[in-house]
Amino acid sequence: MTHYLDHAATSPPTREVLEAVWPYLVQVTANPASVHTPGQQARDGLERARAAAAAALGCRPGEVVFTSGGTEADGLAVLGVAPAVVASRGRERHLVTTAVEHAAVLEPARELERRGWRVDVVGVDGEGRVDVAALAEVVTERTALVSVMHANNEVGTVQPLAGPGGVAELCAQRGVALHVDAVQSAGVLDLPGLWALGSSAGGVAAVSVSAHKLGGLRGSGLLAVRSGTPLEPLALGGGQERGRRSGTVDVASAVGLATALAGAAARREHEVARLAGLRDRLVAGVLRAGAAAGVDVSLTGAAPGAGRLPGHASFVLPGLSGELVLAELDLAGVACSSGSACSADSDDASHVLLAMGLSEDAARTSVRATLGWSSTEADVDALLEALPTALARAQR
């Protein structure tokens, strides 16, 4: 039996999601744009999913654009919203983002740069938290879009978006639209609270969510786009999703995403406490195992309880190969990852850990253990039991 501790990469679909999706795979299978009765039934399911997703996010149903996942949602925000803001509001071709964003934001940002945009990439502190003072120096009333993630996938740090002096307030004060990649935070952080950090005048204007990180299906996500925010579609065609994302909508996936979001919202308080309890035991156990093995293991990212995702633990193991430790754990039936496993097949040191000031050597020793809805005490036990041997073998 494998003990799966890689929920930041993907979570298995919940039973609740599978049961909600099933009728839309086998019974209600018409195109939701068709006018006949089966088409209307599909459309009805789609619109109920849209309403449920919107309720979990705190936005209006018409503000939800279903996409093929977090990557497409991020791309639509950066390449769809930012140029539309320039065209319709006469802003400068200027994008501001951070050094620790997912490639789904950084690559579209690079694409804008290739098109002649000015792109400012703001740095982070040693825990991966964006430098709001540096952000304040580059964001102006003429900036087209700011994109800052809610929480980081590699180190679990929650960004200072809310509150006085936070990123959202800064953007609101300067009348600038803020895109937030909430792929890692959806289900565990307060999404309606996030959406409330914006208005038509500025602040949070677009939020990306991916279904498979919270028990929905892979290849499914959404971009919530505040009404009044201009958007140039990237996929051109039949004009589905009110012209914002053409292509026949995958009703089953949308139903799965809405079910996952609603279920996570209903259980959020209990689940956050449960995951944080498991995570704290995991972190303490890993640090103890490191000390016993003479390895100077340290936690990367924010400290638990100080702006860190509840189910997220990430470490560096100086002097060891992170990949070797992961391979040993895998042999023992424990699936963890290096921080960047879900985004790249390359050997490059993590851009997140480098931005946090770690050396390339240290960054190559990263190990990440992330928990989600299916995680149990037994998963943490299995990791802590396998770790001493894995550390000993990786030192040879």
Instruction: List residues with catalytic annotation.
Output: 342
Contact 365, 321 (CB under 8 A): yes
67 binds ligand PLP (CB under 6 A): no
Nearer to ligand PLP, 11 or 71 (CB): 71
Nearer to ligand PLP, 91 or 308 (CB): 308
Q: How many other C-beta atoms can be found within 10 angstroms of the C-beta atom of residue 18? A: 15
CB of 157 to ligand PLP, least distance (A): 12
Nearer to ligand PLP, 92 or 111 (CB): 111
Nearer to ligand PLP, 297 or 309 (CB): 309
Nearer to ligand PLP, 178 or 293 (CB): 178
Sole binder of ligand PLP in the list 50, 94, 102, 308 (CB under 6 A):
102
Sole binder of ligand PLP in the list 13, 14, 32, 74 (CB under 6 A):
74
CB of 184 to ligand PLP, least distance (A): 5
- Chain-centroid distance, C-alpha 356: 19
Of 288, 274, 287, 349, residue with least CA distance to 314: 287
Residue with tokens 């006469």, as numbered in its chain: 90
Residue with tokens 């895109």, as numbered in its chain: 179
Task: Count how many Cα atoms sit within 13 Å of the Cα of residue 317 in the half-sphere of its side chain.
Answer: 30
**Which residues, in sequence order, are bridge partners of residue 6?**
370
Q: What is the maximum span of the chain, computed from C-alpha positions, in angstroms?
A: 69
Site map for ligand PLP, 168-207, x if CB under 6 A?
-------------x-xx-----------------------
Of 123, 48, 175, residue with least CA distance to 357: 123
**Beta strands 177-181 and 202-210, pairing class:** parallel
Q: How many residues bind ligand PLP (CB under 6 A)?
A: 16
CB of 10 to ligand PLP, least distance (A): 7
Site map for ligand PLP, 339-358, x if CB under 6 A?
---xx---------------
Torsion region of 30: left, alpha or beta (phi above 0 gives left; psi -120 to 50 gives alpha): beta
Quick one: which segment of 44-52, 65-73, 326-334, 365-373 binds ligand PLP (CB under 6 A)?
A: 65-73
69 binds ligand PLP (CB under 6 A): yes
Residue nearest to ligand PLP (CB): 70
Quick one: which segment of 69-77, 132-140, 234-242, 316-324 binds ligand PLP (CB under 6 A)?
A: 69-77
CB of 93 to ligand PLP, least distance (A): 24
CB of 149 to ligand PLP, least distance (A): 6
d(C-alpha 325, C-alpha 301), whole Å = 20
CA distances in angstroms from 390 to 45, 320, 346, 387, listed in the order given? 48, 11, 23, 5
Nearer to ligand PLP, 6 or 63 (CB): 6
Sole binder of ligand PLP in the list 104, 122, 261, 302 (CB under 6 A):
104
221 binds ligand PLP (CB under 6 A): yes
Q: Cα-flanking dihedrals φ and ψ of residue 337, to 5°?
A: -145, 170
d(C-alpha 124, C-alpha 356), whole Å = 6
146 binds ligand PLP (CB under 6 A): no
Nearer to ligand PLP, 70 or 80 (CB): 70
Contact 34, 25 (CB under 8 A): no
Reading the block at residue 312, the tokens are 């997220």
Amino acid symbol at 304: P
153 binds ligand PLP (CB under 6 A): yes
Sign of the dihedral through C-alpha 257, 309, 312, 285: negative
**Interaction site with ligand PLP (CB under 6 A):** 69-71, 74, 102, 104, 149, 153, 181, 183-184, 210, 212, 221, 342-343
